[in-house]
């Protein structure tokens, strides 16, 4: 997405403002919240946001509308976060990875092999730590409403199968716009290349990168499986997707509007988790049937390769790093 297209989108949004009144609506003002994100429309997370938008419309009797714009139409994840801060865009859904540059504590999700299993992951996210992290960005004008399941991320490559970190050596692997992802690739021995999600298909196709990493629904729904023949389920990180609202917009909502939005978000979480589990299995099968070799490697060498990342946080006297070290400890203490 070029900066120019994005700026045009922002201007449009700014001029439309988030409160629109049409002549017919003078007596009944309508609140329109625009939500931009980068995933395709067939993706479970997109479907969950449509579900949330339906609930908002029904509960407000048509007075609150959430308009969902997929496929980076309103900008990539970093651009959408910035637009929220500036108040040009009301809502976005991003991965926790690009949030790291705005909210230091979000880096904790990028610590490889942090969660024992998905039960541990959800216990942390549904509990006080998860809540604390959703609200951590408020001073940066970013408020998290809920988390969506984005499974575990694993490597996929075009022409070399990855069985251990040694196989990543010399390969250019696309990563998200995230310091933690770059650290992880360095620790594992590959070469990290940050590229926005919407540009990745072309980058893979044209050989700008040799591979990438993601969950099965994103690998398949973004059609990356058409160009990558190997998918290695090393499951290095569990980065949640996060539904965000700009605090400028949030503060302008009435107590009732806030409640409608939050409850709809919470309901969409339950819906999305079921949808996710189905889609994860289905998409792995789609990849397999298309001829992708699915590799289930021994995870131990991957775990060992990223140990320096854990050590750096746990032994640091730098306050920002130590903050992550404390969070790692608290997360590990969750039974």
Minimal distance in Å, beta carbon 29 to ligand GCU?
Answer: 32
Q: Which is nearer to ligand GCU, 60 or 214 (CB)?
A: 214
C-alpha 287/C-alpha 293 separation (Å) is 8
Minimal distance in Å, beta carbon 80 to ligand GCU?
Answer: 10
Cα of 245 vs its chain's centroid, Å:
14
Q: Which residue has the tokens 């999600």?
A: 197
Q: Which pair of structure tokens corresponds to residue 86?
A: 């500036």
Minimal distance in Å, beta carbon 150 to ligand GCU?
Answer: 5
Q: Which is nearer to ligand GCU, 95 or 305 (CB)?
A: 95
CA dist list (Å): 138 to 4, 227, 229, 246, 296? 28, 40, 42, 9, 40
Minimal distance in Å, beta carbon 243 to ligand GCU?
Answer: 11
C-alpha 252/C-alpha 101 separation (Å) is 26
Please measure the distance between the N-terminal and C-terminal CA atoms of the chain and give it in whole angstroms.
Answer: 43
Q: Which is nearer to ligand GCU, 39 or 168 (CB)?
A: 39
C-alpha 36/C-alpha 70 separation (Å) is 6
Q: Which is nearer to ligand GCU, 176 or 193 (CB)?
A: 176
Minimal distance in Å, beta carbon 45 to ligand GCU?
Answer: 6
Give the dihedral of Cα atoms 35, 41, 46, 49; nearest 10 deg.
Answer: 60
Q: Provide, for the chain, the percentages of residues in helix, strand and coil under a 3-state DSSP scheme, each rounded to the nearest 5.
A: 55, 20, 30
Q: Which residue has the tokens 């006297």?
A: 317
**CA nearest neighbour of 39 among 162, 180, 222, 186:** 222
Q: Which is nearer to ligand GCU, 66 or 195 (CB)?
A: 195
Minimal distance in Å, beta carbon 241 to ligand GCU?
Answer: 5
Q: Which is nearer to ligand GCU, 63 or 71 (CB)?
A: 71
Residues of the shown chain interacting with ligand GCU in the complex, contacts defined by CB under 6 A: 38-39, 45, 77, 94-95, 150, 176, 197, 214, 218, 241
């Amino acid at each position: 997405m070029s900066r120019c297209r994005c700026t045009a989108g922002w201007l449009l949004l700014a001029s439309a403002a988030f409160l629109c009144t049409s002549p017919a609506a003078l007596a009944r003002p309508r609140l329109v919240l625009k939500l931009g994100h980068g995933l395709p429309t067939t993706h479970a997370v997109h479907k969950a946001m449509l579900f949330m938008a339906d609930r908002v419309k029904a509960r407000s009797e048509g007075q609150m509308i959430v308009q969902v714009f997929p496929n980076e139409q309103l900008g990539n994840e970093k651009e959408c976060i910035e637009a929220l801060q500036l108040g040009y865009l009301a809502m976005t859904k991003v991965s926790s990875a690009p949030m790291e540059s705005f909210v230091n504590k979000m880096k904790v999700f990028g610590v490889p092999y942090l969660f024992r299993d998905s039960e541990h992951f959800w216990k942390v996210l549904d509990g006080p730590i998860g809540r604390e992290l959703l609200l951590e960005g408020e001073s940066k004008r970013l408020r998290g409403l809920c988390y969506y399941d984005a499974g575990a991320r694993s490597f996929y490559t075009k022409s070399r199968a990855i069985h251990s970190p040694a196989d990543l050596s010399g390969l250019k692997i696309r990563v998200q716009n995230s310091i933690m992802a770059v650290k992880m690739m360095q620790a594992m021995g590959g070469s990290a290349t940050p590229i926005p999600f919407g540009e990745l298909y072309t980058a893979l196709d044209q050989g700008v990168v040799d591979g990438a990493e993601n969950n099965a629904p994103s690998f398949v729904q973004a059609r990356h499986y058409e160009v990558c023949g190997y998918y290695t389920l090393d499951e290095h990180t569990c980065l949640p997707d996060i539904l965000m609202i700009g605090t400028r917009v949030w503060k302008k909502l009435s107590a009732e509007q806030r409640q409608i939005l939050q409850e709809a978000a919470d309901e969409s979480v339950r819906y999305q988790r079921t949808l996710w589990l189905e889609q994860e299995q289905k998409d792995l099968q789609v990849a397999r049937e298309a001829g992708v070799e699915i590799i289930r490697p021994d995870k131990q060498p991957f775990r060992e390769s990223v140990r320096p990342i854990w050590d750096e946080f746990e032994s640091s006297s730098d306050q920002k790093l130590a903050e992550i070290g404390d969070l790692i400890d608290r997360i590990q203490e969750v039974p």
